[in-house]
């Protein structure tokens, strides 16, 4: 939680108290304070209090207010203050906060934001209003260009705001260009060098430029070894490149090598978080759902997979039904059925989660698919032996039947092997078919382990029924 140093309302003693409070408590306190000011008719003081907060805190405070109060307050906020808030909000939140404004008014706010921020917001409003807003903006060319790219590509992530010089520029001239940027130069870490066709040819840090000899030109001191991506590159691949080469900036070029923009590391941090969250949600069959989202959306996304899981559960029930006579003769078998199924399901889910996440991080090349499968089978074997010995011994002590312990132990061994095989194989197959490996892998793996686990356990029990009765 960061408050601006010169907050006009909050006294020093209050700030000292705030430092001992959690961010959530502080935000809640600010929300209540603004509500009290508004209820007592101190609207100018409420506006001033809100304006004195850091943009991150402003966004969270506004989110904690009722819709009516929220819209009432932002109507009186300066456009520059609103623009700063939008820099720190998620696109959906930005669209909800200011998307209801008239196009001409919204255009004034977006003219004060970075192009990539404006693009993210515009993607979340209606097409008609988007076009009207673009027409009302003073400089919409860069925004319109970015809108042409898919949101999950390098072009959709990049910002067109970057520092570029010709490779033939002298060092003193390049430094003069940086000085002309004024306060914007504070955020510049790298300078990109291009040829006369605007093709990317090199890069150099501001430090290297500052210490270069005055008689040198940019091409004499720039680094020609660069990593770049084309505008249509998937965002996950972009994140992998930045992580692999420890980059803070990633240049984006078009099909002819011309510099189109740069991707900031902070933007890809959000991408990594989003992709990790999305993979986790998809594994659990809740992809695209949010905890505070519409109830109908949650119902639509969850129910279909619950029906699919119900179908697979009936399949497992049918397998059990085939061995009804065996269970009738040895009722103790029913006691251990959940044990076999649950351990297989957990083992399979562990493998699925690890494999899907490793795929997302680019840690599993396609050529290593069989090696990964062998690895998970080896782990399944080790886990199966370890768990099988324990559960077999427990079953023997509990029921006093050595054969039951052996049957249960070997069933556990087989089910853990199945869990390892399908836990790795289920995500690998969709990738081979160029599909998303995360989509509900856990549902299918659980089905396989349940069905095969029941068949193994009850099948072995049926084979040795004479020793179990």
Asked if residue 69 is part of any domain, the answer here is yes
pLDDT of residue 169: 92
Note whether 94 and 183 are same-domain residues.
Answer: no
88, 60 Cβ separation under 8 angstroms? no
Q: Which of 149, 179, 197 is the last residue of a domain?
A: 149
Angle value at C-alpha 331, between 328 and 335, nearest 5 degrees: 135
Residues 440, 391 within the same domain: yes
- Edge-first strand order for the sheet with 229-230 is 229-230, 249-253, 259-264
pLDDT at 212 over 70: yes
The CATH number of whichever domain residue 184 belongs to comes to 3.10.580.10
Tell me, yes or no, whether 178 and 132 share the same domain: no
The CATH number linked to 138 is: 1.25.60.10
Domain count, the chain: 3
CA atoms of 76 and 413, how far apart (whole Å): 68
pLDDT at 5 over 50: no
Asked whether the whole model's pTM tops 0.85, one would answer no
CATH number, residue 338: 1.10.357.20
398, pLDDT greater than 80: yes
For residue 190, what are the β-bridge partners? 205
Q: Is residue 287 part of a domain?
A: no
The answer as to whether 383 is a domain residue is: yes
Q: Is residue 288 part of a domain?
A: no
Do 134 and 168 lie in one domain? The reply is no
pLDDT per residue over 16-70, tens digit each? 455 556 777 788 888 888 888 888 888 888 888 888 888 888 888 887 888 788 8
Please tell me whether residues 33 and 171 are part of one structural domain.
no
Question: Are 132 and 172 part of one and the same domain?
Answer: no
pLDDT tens for each residue of 124-182: 888 889 899 898 998 788 888 888 888 888 888 888 878 899 999 999 998 888 888 76
- Residue 349: give the domain boundaries: 295-468
Each residue's pLDDT tens digit, 230-259: 998 988 788 888 888 888 889 999 889 999
Could you give the maximum distance between any two Cα atoms of the chain, in Å? Answer: 96
pLDDT of residue 4: 37
Asked if 21 contacts 15 with a C-beta cutoff of 8 angstroms, the reply is no
The residue from 226, 251, 267 where one domain ends is 267
Q: Could you tell me if 63 and 210 lie in one domain?
A: no
Q: Report how far apart the first and last C-alpha atoms of the chain are (Å, whole number).
A: 67
Tens of pLDDT, residues 74-116: 888 888 888 888 888 878 888 888 878 888 988 998 988 888 8
Is 155 inside any structural domain? no
Say if 188 falls within a structural domain. yes
Q: Do both 125 and 177 map to the same domain?
A: no
Indicate if 122 and 193 belong to the same structural domain.
no
User: Which residue carries 């904690």 as its tokens?
Assistant: 64
Residues 453 and 307 in one domain: yes
Note whether 451 and 386 are same-domain residues: yes
Task: Inform me whether the pLDDT recorded for 362 exceeds 80.
Answer: no
| 183 and 308 co-located in one domain | no
Concatenated DSSP letters of 140-191: -HHHHHHHTS-TTBHHHH-BS---EEETT-BHHHHHHHHHHTGGGGGG--EE
């Amino acid at each position: 939680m960061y408050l601006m140093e010169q907050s006009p309302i909050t006294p020093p003693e209050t700030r000292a108290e705030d430092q001992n409070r959690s961010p959530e408590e502080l935000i809640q306190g600010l929300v209540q304070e603004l509500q009290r000011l508004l209820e007592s008719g101190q609207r100018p003081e409420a506006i001033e209090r809100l304006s004195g907060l850091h943009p991150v805190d402003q966004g969270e405070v506004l989110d904690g207010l009722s819709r009516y109060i929220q819209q009432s307050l932002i109507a009186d906020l300066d456009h520059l203050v609103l623009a700063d808030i939008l820099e720190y909000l998620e696109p959906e939140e930005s669209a909800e906060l200011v998307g209801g404004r008239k196009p001409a008014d919204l255009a004034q706010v977006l003219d004060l934001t970075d192009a990539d921020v404006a693009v993210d917001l515009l993607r979340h409003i209606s097409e008609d209003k988007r076009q009207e807003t673009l027409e009302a903006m003073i400089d919409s060319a860069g925004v319109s260009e970015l809108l042409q790219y898919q949101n999950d590509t390098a072009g959709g992530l990049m910002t067109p705001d970057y520092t570029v010089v010709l490779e033939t520029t002298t060092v003193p001239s390049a430094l003069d260009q940086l000085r002309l940027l004024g306060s914007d130069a504070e955020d510049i870490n790298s300078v990109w060098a291009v040829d006369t066709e605007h093709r990317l040819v090199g890069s150099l840090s501001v430090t290297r430029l500052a210490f270069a000899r005055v008689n040198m030109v940019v091409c004499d001191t720039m680094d020609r070894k660069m990593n770049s991506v084309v505008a249509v590159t998937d965002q996950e691949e972009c994140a992998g490149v930045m992580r692999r080469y420890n980059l803070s900036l990633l240049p984006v070029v078009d099909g002819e090598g011309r510099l189109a923009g740069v991707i900031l590391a902070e933007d890809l941090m959000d991408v990594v978080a989003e992709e990790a969250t999305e993979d986790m949600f998809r594994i659990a069959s809740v992809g695209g759902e949010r905890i505070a989202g519409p109830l109908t959306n949650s119902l639509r996304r969850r129910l279909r997979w619950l029906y699919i899981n119900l179908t697979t559960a009936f399949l497992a029930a049918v397998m059990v039904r085939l061995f009804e006579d065996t269970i009738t003769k040895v009722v103790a078998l029913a006691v251990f059925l959940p044990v076999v199924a649950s351990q297989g399901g957990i083992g399979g889910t562990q493998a699925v989660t690890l494999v899907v996440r490793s795929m997302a991080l680019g840690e599993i090349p396609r050529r290593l698919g069989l090696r990964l499968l062998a690895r998970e089978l080896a782990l399944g074997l080790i886990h199966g032996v370890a768990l099988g010995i324990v559960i077999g011994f427990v079953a023997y002590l509990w029921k006093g039947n050595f054969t039951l312990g052996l049957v249960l132990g070997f069933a556990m061994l087989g089910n853990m092997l199945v869990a390892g095989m399908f836990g790795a194989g289920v995500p690998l197959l969709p990738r081979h078919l160029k599909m998303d490996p995360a989509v509900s892998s856990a549902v299918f793996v659980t089905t396989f382990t349940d069905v095969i686990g029941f068949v193994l356990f009850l099948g072995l029990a049926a084979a040795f029924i004479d020793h179990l009765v």
